[in-house]
A and B are shown apart, each in its own frame.
Chain A
């Protein structure tokens, strides 16, 4: 290769990486700001700006009225929605991967559609349903929960499906060959293999549910989840404590991901 070509190659090689890293930095700037804001005491009440450093927000997380209440609500709904979606979704994934039946293609489409529909449309149509059923005045915890299970289901199915498809089916044949009946084969061989997928799906479900705003706000009535609290406060005074919550969420998620990665590395090393 000639010298000019060498230089061009070098530049090209590094340009893509440089751009990529810049984009990553760009993606992280708001997060850094959020974390910084959690230690922030704004110069005056109505202003969302940097002021002075303080531990106050962390020390008095529940000071803003309704914040911790909404947090609790989001956690409750998150846990229940995760439970519901994971169970229903895992069953569906097994049916889709392990069994042949008529309506296979239709089911796949049914599962795919919620992931491709704009949230505003899904939220609106659910609201329309509830109104038509005369539940317009009873929107709240249960309608939110119903909505969350609905849109988390598809993600669970897709995640568990991917894991199941990658599984070696001869493992189950071997188990049956070694005197395990269908039930024992499932619990002793299939389930341990699928479990990481189910766990991943559950975590994904929880974060989708916890962070959802659009569908929730349309179907919540007077109940307030954490995202709704944030939205409401954005119209009035934004308490810095929301950044504490956001930072906490970030740290917890980071720990889970890093923990999983460390565990994987340790297993591979043994």
Chain B
């Protein structure tokens, strides 16, 4: 799968570059020919399910693993073989890895002391102030809550002003509310401090909330890389389409290819998609449209021109979830499509067995090659 990479040659704007990085553990390839470039000062997320290689990639940047082949360039310098303690990179570990026998202040000061920096006390105070833990300075890690420990781990890394700050699923151990709060705080701190953050996570909402750029990884390769909006609105692979939010993927055939639109035959229905949103332009394809983009109405309701319409659906399930009403609509060809209708106050609930009409704009769908697995990236039943 071709990955979108920021073109080389941007020079100093790229703090961190991975070129054709591969990591093999025996027969198992964790990371496969990865190309990556992270703009200086941005918040970059590596998103993917467990086992996709994102943590391995992070550890290779930190120097805790060595790539089997490929180059890792930090500020233009190839750091292959360079020990972690010689790289201008710091890590916030998933388990925080706070030194239990040292106080909070000593933990935060650790990196500075190893580098022989003067004036440690003042810097530590400032950093603890930033993460709002000034009063806990003399306590030991096991006396703090999970959220507080997480902030200490962050402070300990940040204080060294690294070229790249790596975060390995740092919010995984926190409960939902705390996690949301920390997501915003981390984003704030990053903007304030202006350092390059590389954040590894499996939570797509987290990535989309925090990151400027996301790279979606699957089985050691990058499926797609771009801004959250790009990835969400215009996915290039079924994996991305399913992993970020939900997608309806419908079997279709391209029948027309001229003009600003691509024409498809979807089980007898005539559908148009903006050409720019079709990554494949002929043959059998998957037509993708997100549930919140699909409108649902009576079979009799009139619809604006240029809108894609499919009649003949029957509501098979209705769920009211407060923010929206989620429908499952069984189509004449057997597939059940998801429709999320926002709860705008216009109270209109379709009951089960009702015949409905589905419609959406040509600029809201996307087209993907049929050779891909339509179930890639979907959450598995546990």
- Kindly state the separation between the CA atoms of A181 and B91 in the bound complex, as whole angstroms: 16
How many residues from A make CB contacts under 8 Å with B?
17
Instruction: Judge whether B97 and A180 touch: CB under 8 Å.
Output: no
Instruction: Judge whether A174 and B115 touch: CB under 8 Å.
Output: no
Instruction: Judge whether B85 and A270 touch: CB under 8 Å.
Output: no
Instruction: Judge whether B111 and A179 touch: CB under 8 Å.
Output: yes
Chain A neighbourhood of B85, CB < 8 A: 176-181
Question: If the complex has contacts A170-B97, A171-B99, are A177 and B91 also in contact, measured as CB distance less than 8 A?
Answer: yes
Instruction: Judge whether A173 and B101 touch: CB under 8 Å.
Output: no
Q: Mark A249-270, 1 if CB is under 8 A from B, else 0.
A: 0000000000000000000001
Chain A residues engaging chain B, CB cutoff 8 angstroms: 168, 170-171, 173-181, 184, 189, 192-193, 270
Instruction: Judge whether B110 and A175 touch: CB under 8 Å.
Output: yes
Kindly identify which residue among A181, A192, A193 contacts B83, using a CB–CB cutoff of 8 Å.
A181
How many residues from B make CB contacts under 8 Å with A?
25
Chain A neighbourhood of B62, CB < 8 A: 177
Within 8 A of A (CB), among B56-94: 62-64, 83-85, 89-91, 93
Instruction: Judge whether A177 and B84 touch: CB under 8 Å.
Output: yes
Q: Mark B248-284, 1 if CB is under 8 A from A, else 0.
A: 0000000000000000000000000000000000000
Within the complex, the shortest CB–CB distance from A161 to chain B, in Å, comes to 20
Within the complex, the shortest CB–CB distance from B268 to chain A, in Å, comes to 58
User: 20 A-B contacts, Cβ less than 8 Å apart?
Assistant: A170-B93, A171-B97, A173-B64, A174-B98, A174-B99, A175-B99, A176-B84, A177-B64, A177-B85, A177-B91, A178-B85, A178-B156, A179-B85, A179-B160, A180-B85, A181-B85, A184-B114, A193-B101, A270-B140, A270-B143
Considering the complex of A and B, which 6 residue pairs feature the smallest CB-CB distances, nearest first?
A174-B97, A178-B111, A179-B114, A170-B97, A176-B84, A192-B101
Within the complex, the shortest CB–CB distance from B150 to chain A, in Å, comes to 14
Q: Kindly name the residue among A168, A178, A189 whose own CB sees the greatest number of chain B CB atoms within 10 A.
A: A178
Within the complex, the shortest CB–CB distance from A185 to chain B, in Å, comes to 8
Kindly identify which residue among B64, B83, B95, B114 contacts A178, using a CB–CB cutoff of 8 Å.
B114
Chain A neighbourhood of B115, CB < 8 A: 179
- Kindly state the separation between the CA atoms of A170 and B111 in the bound complex, as whole angstroms: 16
Chain B residues engaging chain A, CB cutoff 8 angstroms: 62-64, 83-85, 89-91, 93, 95, 97-101, 110-111, 114-115, 140, 143, 156-157, 160
Within the complex, the shortest CB–CB distance from B248 to chain A, in Å, comes to 42
Instruction: Judge whether A173 and B99 touch: CB under 8 Å.
Output: no
Chain A neighbourhood of B114, CB < 8 A: 178-180, 184
Instruction: Judge whether B93 and A173 touch: CB under 8 Å.
Output: yes
Interface of chain A: mostly helix, strand, loop or mixed: helix
- Kindly state the separation between the CA atoms of A105 and B52 in the bound complex, as whole angstroms: 33
Within the complex, the shortest CB–CB distance from B368 to chain A, in Å, comes to 39
Chain A neighbourhood of B99, CB < 8 A: 171, 174-175, 189
Within the complex, the shortest CB–CB distance from A265 to chain B, in Å, comes to 14
Instruction: Judge whether A168 and B97 touch: CB under 8 Å.
Output: yes
Chain A neighbourhood of B143, CB < 8 A: 270
Chain B neighbourhood of A177, CB < 8 A: 62-64, 84-85, 89-91, 157
Chain B neighbourhood of A175, CB < 8 A: 99, 110
- Kindly state the separation between the CA atoms of A179 and B93 in the bound complex, as whole angstroms: 15
Chain B neighbourhood of A179, CB < 8 A: 85, 111, 114-115, 160
Given contacts A174-B97, A179-B111, A192-B101, 14 further A-B contacts (CB under 8 A): A171-B99, A173-B91, A176-B64, A177-B64, A177-B90, A178-B85, A178-B90, A178-B110, A178-B114, A179-B160, A180-B110, A180-B114, A181-B85, A270-B140
Within the complex, the shortest CB–CB distance from B155 to chain A, in Å, comes to 12
Quick one: closest B residue to A176, CB to CB?
B84
Chain A neighbourhood of B63, CB < 8 A: 176-177
- Kindly state the separation between the CA atoms of A168 and B140 in the bound complex, as whole angstroms: 17
Q: Kindly name the residue among A170, A174, A193 whose own CB sees the greatest number of chain B CB atoms within 10 A.
A: A174
- Kindly state the separation between the CA atoms of A240 and B157 in the bound complex, as whole angstroms: 64
Within the complex, the shortest CB–CB distance from B173 to chain A, in Å, comes to 13
